[in-house]
Structure 1
Amino acid sequence: MKTTSLAGFALAFVTAAIALPAHANPLTIDGNFADWGVKNNGTLAGWTPNSGVLFTVEDQSNANGGYLSPGWGGQAYDAEAMYLTWYTKADGQTYLALGLITGHDPNTPTSGNSYGRGDFAIDFGRDGSFEFGVLTADRSSTLHQGDVVSTTNADWATGLWSAPGVYDPAHSTYITKVNTGTDVGNASMAISNRFGNMGTLGGNHWFYEVEIPVSAFGNHWVGNTPSESFDVQWTMLCANDIIILDPPAATVSEPASLALALGAFGLAGLARRRKPVRH
């Protein structure tokens, strides 16, 4: 399970504004990661995107007996990298863009010991409550691929594991796909064909590319930068491997006492936060 995060600067103000560089130009949502700066050139550096793109990478392949955390599956169930940026287009509308590289074939059927692709989950406030899902496949007669859906955790299906390595589908809290919810918008989405030569461990890969109008998020995103912290998560329907990216909030409200303390010591630095496994 991926727990690498990128956290914001702690600044000596009651409200601390963080200037996150956005992608220079809007992306073309076509399943091609070239405009993200990612390269499938068989090197470790190939994972690294352009400046202004937040990302987390963990290419595990079939190491450790196929264990990925919280489950098993090796390369075929490996969620390997996630990318995120946002930008405002000429029409004045702001969009959140997501990229995902995985060894999981998006055409994998769900039957027997085979499990298909899951949906992107967004947790505003980083409190374990997922307010939105972005559907990567049709989920019902009314919820379709590309829909942005307002959810509570009860609207999500869960995986096979109640804790890392503990097979217990009846008590799993690792969310996977949207079953129900309210359609609040539409994202552009493209999924690439299979490609290789990614990183140094080899194997087949696929790239998901998503562009979400932030107006779908309501009060969670006001203006052209996010108004609160949030996580983005993705996994497949078994939740064998989970990838999470924690972007910094553009505006972080600090308690006055903490702000005064920071001011007294003149502190400003990068913090890394390890996200706890949810049970």
Structure 2
Amino acid sequence: MKTTSLAGFALTLAAAAFTLPAHATQMTIDGNFADWGVANNGTVSGWTPGSGILFTVDDQSNANNGYLNPGWGGQAYDAEALYLTWYTKLDGQTYLALGLITGHDPNTPTGGNNYGRGDFAIDFGRDGSFEFGVLTADRSSTLRQGDVVGTSNADWATGLWSAPGVYDPAHSSYVTKVNTGTDVGNASLVISSSFGNMGTLGGSHWFYEVEIPVAVFGGHWTGNSPTESFDVQWTMLCANDIIIVDPIPATVSEPASLALVLGAAGLACLARRRRT
């Protein structure tokens, strides 16, 4: 699998950090990634977003018989880029925005060897416990697409793999979709139609765009800043490919400061992280 990590952009980000805005420009949640600064122009640089946006990119190459991580599936089950920022609107309300590009068709049914789309999972504290899910599809009569749901790990379905490359659905800990939990609010969610010419490898892609009012996070977020470190991940129901973006430590108040923090740490933590 070919991995294009943040490390390739680290020095540029660090040099620009003092001039980046505290937060990215407010997004229009319409399934169009142009306002994120992303471009389907057939180049590697097309993955890179505008300033003030945190991101992870992992454009697979169909190498190793379609192995992704932790499972197989090739382009059809590839989670390729995850973007994150937050901003405060004129009404004084702060929102967390997510953007996802994937080769997985969101209309894929679950059955046989096919697996549908998963939900966004948010882990405050980065301790492996997922406090919130953002639903990308209806999961029950009361948990519907766009709902933000308070969860424990017991509320989540899990994938096919107990470790990278180890098929063991009975013992998987890779969370995929919300089965149960407490509805705490609503996000705006739009999933685009398919598009091509993304990166150098081609194929069909889809873009998920999400905007979450941070008030739903309760004490995990105060004002326009998180009160603790957190990460966001997404995968499909088989968990063949998991993508994660890790925002800044809780002591830093704006996304643009990530480059400064990582630059001081020798860029050691900039590369993409997957759960193992």
- Range into which the TM-score falls when normalised by the shorter chain: 0.7 to 0.9
- Output aligned runs, 1:92-103, within 5 Å: 92-103=92-103
Indicate if the aligned counterparts of 1:146 and 1:187 stay in contact, CA closer than 8 A: yes
Name the amino acid aligned to 1:170. A
Matched, 1:89 2:85: no
Aligned residue number for residue 234 of structure 1? 234
Aligned residue number for residue 137 of structure 2? 137
User: Normalising by the residue count of structure 2, what TM-score does the alignment of the two structures yield?
Assistant: 0.86
Distance 1:200 1:276, change over 3 A: closer
**Residue 251 of structure 1 aligns to a residue in which SS?**
coil
Structure 2 Cα separation of the partners of residues 169 and 268 of structure 1: 41
**Residue 136 of structure 2 aligns to a residue in which SS?**
coil
Q: Report the alpha carbon displacement of residue 277 of structure 1 after superposing the two structures with TM.
A: 2.9
**Residue 222 of structure 2 aligns to a residue in which SS?**
coil
Aligned residue number for residue 275 of structure 2? 277
- Output aligned runs, 1:134-213, within 5 Å: 134-213=134-213
- Output aligned runs, 1:1-279, within 5 Å: 21-23=22-24, 25-251=25-251, 268-269=264-265, 271-273=267-269, 275=273, 277-278=275-276
Q: Report the alpha carbon displacement of residue 223 of structure 1 after superposing the two structures with TM.
A: 1.0
Structure 1 Cα separation of the partners of residues 266 and 94 of structure 2: 26
Structure 1 Cα separation of the partners of residues 245 and 264 of structure 2: 22
Q: Report the alpha carbon displacement of residue 26 of structure 1 after superposing the two structures with TM.
A: 1.2
Q: Deviations over 1:8-53 (max 9, x none)?
A: xxxxxxxxxxx97311x31100000000000000000000000100
Aligned residue number for residue 13 of structure 1? none
**Residue 76 of structure 1 aligns to a residue in which SS?**
helix
Distance 1:64 1:276, change over 3 A: closer
| Unmatched runs of 5 consecutive residues or more in structure 1 | 7-18, 253-266
Between Structure 1 and Structure 2, how many residues are aligned? 251
Q: Report the alpha carbon displacement of residue 69 of structure 1 after superposing the two structures with TM.
A: 1.1
| Unmatched runs of 5 consecutive residues or more in structure 2 | 8-19, 253-262
Distance 1:4 1:247, change over 3 A: farther
Structure 2 Cα separation of the partners of residues 276 and 51 of structure 1: 24
Indicate if the aligned counterparts of 2:159 and 2:169 stay in contact, CA closer than 8 A: yes
Identity %: 78
Structure 1 Cα separation of the partners of residues 213 and 274 of structure 2: 29
Structure 1 Cα separation of the partners of residues 187 and 266 of structure 2: 32
Indicate if the aligned counterparts of 1:20 and 1:250 stay in contact, CA closer than 8 A: no
Name the amino acid aligned to 1:163. A
User: Which one has more relative contact order, counting CA pairs under 8 Å at least 6 apart?
Assistant: 1
- Structure with larger Rg: 1
Indicate if the aligned counterparts of 1:43 and 1:198 stay in contact, CA closer than 8 A: yes
Q: Report the alpha carbon displacement of residue 269 of structure 1 after superposing the two structures with TM.
A: 4.0
Distance 1:115 1:90, change over 3 A: same
Structure 1 Cα separation of the partners of residues 140 and 23 of structure 2: 35
**Residue 148 of structure 1 aligns to a residue in which SS?**
strand
Indicate if the aligned counterparts of 1:176 and 1:234 stay in contact, CA closer than 8 A: yes
Distance 1:4 1:47, change over 3 A: closer
Indicate if the aligned counterparts of 2:21 and 2:51 stay in contact, CA closer than 8 A: no
Distance 1:218 1:167, change over 3 A: same
Q: Root-mean-square deviation (CA), in Å?
A: 2.0
Structure 2 Cα separation of the partners of residues 165 and 154 of structure 1: 23
Structure 1 Cα separation of the partners of residues 197 and 6 of structure 2: 26
Name the amino acid aligned to 1:116. G
